Structure 1
Amino acid sequence: MKTWFITGASKGFGREWAEAALGRGDRVAVTSRGADVFGDLVARYGEAVLPLRLDVTDRDAVFGAVERAHDHFGALDVVVNNAGYGLFGMVEEVTAEQARAQVDVNLFGPLWVTQAALPYLREQKSGHLVQVSSIAGVLALPGLGLYHASKFGLEGFTSSLAAEVEGFGVHVTLVEPAGYATDWAGPSAVQAERSPAYEDFRANVTARPSARRGDPRATRAAILAVVDAEQPPLRIFFGDGPLPVIRQEYANRIAEWEQWDEVSRAAFGE
Structure 2
Amino acid sequence: MAKTIFITGASRGFGKIWAEAFLKRGDKVIATARNTESLNDLVAAYGDAILPIQLDVNNRDQVFAAIEQAKQHFGTIDVLINNAGYGLFGTIEETSEQEARDQIETNVFGLLWVTQAVLPVMRAQGHGHIIQVSSVLGIVTLPVLGLYNASKFAVEGLTETLATEVKGFGINVSLIEPNGFATDWAGASAASTTPMDVYEPVKAAFQAGLTDDIFGVPEATADAVLKLVDADNPPLRLFLGKVALPWVKQVYAGRIAEWEAWDEVASAAHGK
Q: TM-score, normalised by structure 1?
A: 0.98
Checking the alignment, whether the CA contact within 8 Å between 1:93 and 1:193 is kept in structure 2 is yes
Is the contact made by 1:42 and 1:49 (CA closer than 8 Å) also made in structure 2? Answer: yes
Q: Which deviates more from structure 2 when the two are superposed, residues 209-218 or residues 191-200? A: 209-218
Letter aligned with residue 188 of structure 1:
S
Aligned to 1:29: 30
Q: CA deviation at 1:211?
A: 4.4
Q: Summarize the alignment of residues 38-187 of structure 1 with structure 2, pairs less than 5 Å apart.
A: 38-187=39-188
Measure how far apart 1:214 and its partner are.
1.1
Q: Is the 8 A contact 1:181 1:216 kept in 2?
A: yes
| Residue equivalent to 2:263 | 261
Q: Aligned letter for 2:83?
A: N
Percent of residue pairs identical: 56
Q: C-alpha distance in 1, partners of 2:239/2:193?
A: 28
Q: Which of structure 1's runs of 4+ aligned residues deviate more than 3 A?
A: none
Query: Match of 1:12?
Result: 13
Q: Which region of structure 1 is more displaced relative to structure 2, 3-12 or 210-219?
A: 210-219
In structure 1, how many angstroms separate the alpha carbons of the residues matched to 2:209 and 2:180?
A: 15
Of 191-200 and 202-211, deviating more is: 202-211
Q: Is the 8 A contact 1:173 1:232 kept in 2?
A: yes
Instruction: Measure, in 2, the Cα distance between the counterparts of 1:248 and 1:266.
Output: 28
Given candidates 235, 251, 254, the residue that maps to 1:252 is: 254
Runs (5+) with no aligned partner, structure 2: none
- Which position in structure 2 is the counterpart of 1:3? 4
Over aligned residues, Cα RMSD in angstroms? 0.9
Alignment partners' CA distance in 2, 1:5 and 1:178: 23
String of CA shifts for 1:2-46, please: whole Å, max 9, x gaps: 001000001111101100110011100100001122111111111
Q: Distance in 1 between matches of 2:78 and 2:24?
A: 17
On the 8 A contact 2:144/2:206 being kept in 1, the answer is no
Report the TM-score when normalising by structure 2. 0.97
Q: CA deviation at 1:78?
A: 0.7
- The CA deviation at 1:141 is 1.1
**In the aligned structure 1, how far is the partner of 2:8 from the partner of 2:210?**
32
Aligned equivalent of 1:225? 227
| Ranges in structure 1 where 5+ consecutive residues have no aligned partner | none
Q: Report the residue type matching 1:83 in the other structure.
A: A
Q: Which residue of the partner structure matches residue 236 of structure 1? A: 238
Q: Aligned to 2:235, what secondary structure does the other structure show?
A: coil
Partner of 2:174: helix, strand, or coil?
strand
Mapped contact 1:179–1:211 kept (Cα < 8 A): no
How many residues align? The count is 270
CA deviations on 1:223-250 (whole Å, 9 max, x unpaired) are: 0100100000000000012111111111
